[in-house]
């Protein structure tokens, strides 16, 4: 037993080092001057500098990218969760005409390649005048986030015994009141996990976000790709912008860390 637990620790430590090494290198680079990056390969910054971070926080063309990204991510999470809650309840509690086909069709949209949708979305959102607004990206990301939220919430809701619904009905609760007052607190962790996943997949997506925005709603990911190619290769600035995109994710993980394993199994363990 002792020997196998030592082997486990060894594997785990190796794996965590493998995960952290590239991130360490990114942080390391963001704290170096471009001169040092281009001339030497050093394991820590010899000439520590925060100039790249200062530039990002003072230059509007950089920090508005973060604001734009967070705007559509939050909009998308709110839309996805509020639409998915009643639908997931219906799937977990009732049998109805076409339910299995509908569930599969929803699921298949989670799997559809965004590259297929890039051009038609561009046409669609230009036609209805939402192009280059956070709403366009928030609605476009619903394509995969709404099905995902339904899938996760359905898993968590199926874990709540149906007797609770019946007892509440006997006690005279109307359906909306029962849903908000009794049912939602019971699946609070499920809602948290679903919100986490919507946040995650909307935050990391680039292709649709890039296609649907031009200047006003440009997300940070696009600012990174465009500015960098235009200004030669400003590695230090690129690295600092990268580090700052990791932070929101890390904060969100911290809040859901206790549910993360169950959440990744989409409430189906």
Partner 1 sequence: MEKPINNRAWLLVAPVFLIVAFSAILPIMTVVNYSVQDTFGNNQFFWNGLGWFQELLDPSTELGGRFFAALWRNLAFSAIILAIEVPLGILVALSMPREGWKVAATLVVMALPLLIPWNVVGTIWQVFARADIGLLGYGLNWLGIDYNYTGDTLSAWITIVVMDVWHWTSLVALLCYAGLKSIPDAYYQAARIDGASRWAIFTTIQLPKMKRVLLIAVLLRFMDSFMIYTEPFVLTGGGPGNATTFLSIDLVKLALGQFDLGKAAAMSLVYNLIVLAVCWVFYTVMTNTGSERADRGEPA
Nearest CB to partner 1, comparing residues 23 and 54: 23
Q: How far is the CB of 109 from partner 1 (least distance, A)?
A: 5
Nearest CB to partner 1, comparing residues 18 and 185: 18
Nearest CB to partner 1, comparing residues 120 and 129: 120
SS3 state of residue 242: helix
CA geometry: angle 40, 43, 47, nearest 5 deg: 65
In angstroms, the CA 188 to CA 156 distance is: 9
Nearest CB to partner 1, comparing residues 56 and 239: 239
* DSSP state at residue 180: I
Nearest CB to partner 1, comparing residues 187 and 224: 224
Q: How far is the CB of 178 from partner 1 (least distance, A)?
A: 13
Query: Quick check: 68 and 217 in contact, CB under 8 A?
Result: yes
| Residue closest to 125 by CA, chosen among 85, 77, 72 | 72
Q: How far is the CB of 200 from partner 1 (least distance, A)?
A: 6
In angstroms, the CA 17 to CA 112 distance is: 34
Nearest CB to partner 1, comparing residues 18 and 170: 18
Q: How far is the CB of 67 from partner 1 (least distance, A)?
A: 15
CA geometry: angle 159, 165, 169, nearest 5 deg: 175
Q: How far is the CB of 47 from partner 1 (least distance, A)?
A: 15
DSSP string for residues in 27-44: HHHHTS-HHHHHH---SS
How many other CB atoms sit within 10 Å of the CB of residue 126? Answer: 13
Q: How far is the CB of 231 from partner 1 (least distance, A)?
A: 15
Nearest CB to partner 1, comparing residues 51 and 158: 158
In angstroms, the CA 214 to CA 100 distance is: 39
Kindly report each contact of residues 120-129 with a partner whose C-beta sits within 8 Å and lies 24 or more positions away, as own/partner.
Answer: 121/208, 121/211, 121/212, 122/211, 122/212, 125/212
Nearest CB to partner 1, comparing residues 77 and 211: 211
Q: How far is the CB of 53 from partner 1 (least distance, A)?
A: 16
In angstroms, the CA 221 to CA 61 distance is: 12
In angstroms, the CA 33 to CA 39 distance is: 10
Q: How far is the CB of 99 from partner 1 (least distance, A)?
A: 8
Task: Supply φ then ψ for residue 48, to 5 degrees.
Answer: -55, 130
């Amino acid at each position: 037993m002792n020997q196998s637990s030592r082997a486990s620790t060894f594997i785990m430590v190796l794996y965590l080092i493998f995960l952290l090494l590239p991130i360490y290198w990114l942080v390391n680079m963001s704290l170096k001057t471009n001169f040092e990056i281009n001339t030497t390969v050093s394991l820590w910054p010899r000439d520590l500098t925060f100039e790249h971070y200062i530039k990002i926080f003072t230059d509007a063309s950089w920090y508005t990218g973060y604001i734009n990204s967070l705007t559509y991510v939050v909009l998308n999470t709110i839309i996805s969760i509020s639409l998915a809650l009643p639908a997931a309840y219906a799937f977990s509690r009732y049998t109805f005409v076409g339910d299995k086909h509908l569930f599969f069709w929803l699921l298949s949209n989670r799997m559809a390649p965004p590259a297929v949708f890039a051009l038609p979305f561009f046409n669609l959102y230009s036609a209805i005048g939402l192009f280059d607004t956070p709403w366009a990206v928030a609605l476009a990301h619903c394509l995969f986030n709404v099905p995902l939220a339904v899938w996760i919430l359905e898993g968590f809701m199926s874990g709540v015994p149906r007797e609770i619904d019946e007892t509440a009905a006997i006690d005279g609760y109307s359906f909306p009141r029962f849903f908000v007052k009794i049912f939602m607190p019971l699946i609070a962790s499920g809602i948290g996990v679903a919100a986490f996943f919507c946040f995650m997949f909307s935050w990391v997506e680039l292709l649709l976000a890039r296609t649907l925005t031009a200047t006003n709603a440009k997300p940070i990911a696009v600012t990174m790709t465009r500015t960098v190619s235009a200004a030669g290769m400003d590695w230090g600035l690129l690295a600092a912008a990268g580090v700052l995109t990791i932070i929101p994710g890390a904060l969100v993980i911290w809040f859901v860390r206790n549910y993360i394993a169950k959440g990744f199994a989409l409430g189906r363990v």
